[in-house]
Amino acid sequence: MEFDDLLRRYFAADDLAAVRPEALAAGIERCQVDLGLERDPGKRFALWALLHMLGAAPDLDVAFEDEGEREAARNFMDLLDAAGPR
């Protein structure tokens, strides 16, 4: 999943700064539903990562059954933290 494609799919925009608050909330909700339904590990991770960046991701033990996937998510969070403020 490409980041730009996710933005267009869930928020109908190429720039999150241009998304109105109610559209942002609706897109986050749709993304959370899709995360709960998705079975492909890579797609689940992409959806979770987007939600994490938006401050709306579920806890790792809820989002990922597999310890390897939880570790990958922890690594992702560490990389974002190391990159500094967004």
Residuewise pLDDT in 10s, the chain (86 residues): 799 999 999 999 999 999 999 999 999 999 999 999 999 999 999 999 999 999 999 999 999 999 999 999 999 999 999 998 76
What is the identity of the amino acid at 86?
R
CB atoms within 10 A of CB 12: 12
Look at residue 1 in the predicted model and tell me its pLDDT.
75
| Rounded distance between C-alpha atoms, residue 80 and residue 83, angstroms | 5
Look at residue 84 in the predicted model and tell me its pLDDT.
83
What residues does each domain of the chain span? 3-83
In contact, 45 and 26? CB cutoff 8 Å: no
In contact, 30 and 10? CB cutoff 8 Å: yes
In contact, 16 and 7? CB cutoff 8 Å: yes
